[in-house]
Chains A and B, each alone.
Chain A
């Protein structure tokens, strides 16, 4: 399977704990995106990387959130001191952007986080 993969698929944690999610994009895709989706809503943009550079962060990404893509391949999203409001599906997507842009983003299956 050469699609976008995410790990873990489900995570239950207690309020105040730290959690880390991993995303493996489609091989050789230079762009990697993180989105958050709450129940009954469309995904909301969190941040994205062009290779290893983090180019944009949403205001939704508080100081408790940090994302990395150290070698321009896989990415991690860490949430520190989790709150119940962090409960959501965290989606990763990747694309292979050229100079013209506008390439289709391919989504992973998501990591569903539940904070108790």
Chain B
């Protein structure tokens, strides 16, 4: 069975600084997708970034980028120029091609002004 592990329950970063959230996963499949979702307090879960496993190039979305290491089964999220609005729970998630999403337990990110 696939698993997703986020080893950092909480992290803090100074506003305008860069922070990296870690995620590892376990799977025997070769075709899959990885996601980072953001869940602000009492608000809706929204997609931050996605990565197709068959793509070698790391995905980027404005200030958000990933470091996808397929052989190591690692999928970290880097947030540059952190802003107060980035404070949230961040969930790493795995999905096979036609299946449900499996989420990690999340990392709570605090932004220090």
List residues of A whose CB falls within 8 A of some B CB.
Answer: 33, 35, 40-45, 48, 56, 91, 93, 97, 100-102, 104-110
Contact = CB atoms under 8 A, between A and B. Distances in A.
A105 B101 contact: yes
A109 B44 contact: yes
Tell me which of A42, A43, A104, A110 has the highest count of chain B C-beta atoms within 10 A of its own C-beta.
A42
Nearest to A58: B100
B45 A91 contact: yes
A5 B91 CA distance: 21
A4 to B, nearest CB: 9
User: What is the size category of the interface that chain B forms with chain A?
Assistant: 20 to 34
B5 to A, nearest CB: 11
A42 B100 contact: no
For the residues of B in contact with A, the DSSP-based class is strand
A94 to B, nearest CB: 12
Given A42-B91, A42-B105, A91-B45, A102 B97 contact: yes
A97 B98 contact: yes
A41 B105 CA distance: 5
Nearest to B33: A102
27 contacts: A33-B101, A35-B101, A40-B105, A40-B106, A42-B91, A42-B93, A43-B45, A43-B101, A45-B100, A45-B101, A56-B99, A56-B100, A91-B45, A93-B101, A97-B98, A100-B97, A101-B96, A101-B99, A102-B52, A104-B47, A105-B95, A105-B101, A106-B47, A107-B44, A107-B45, A108-B44, A110-B44
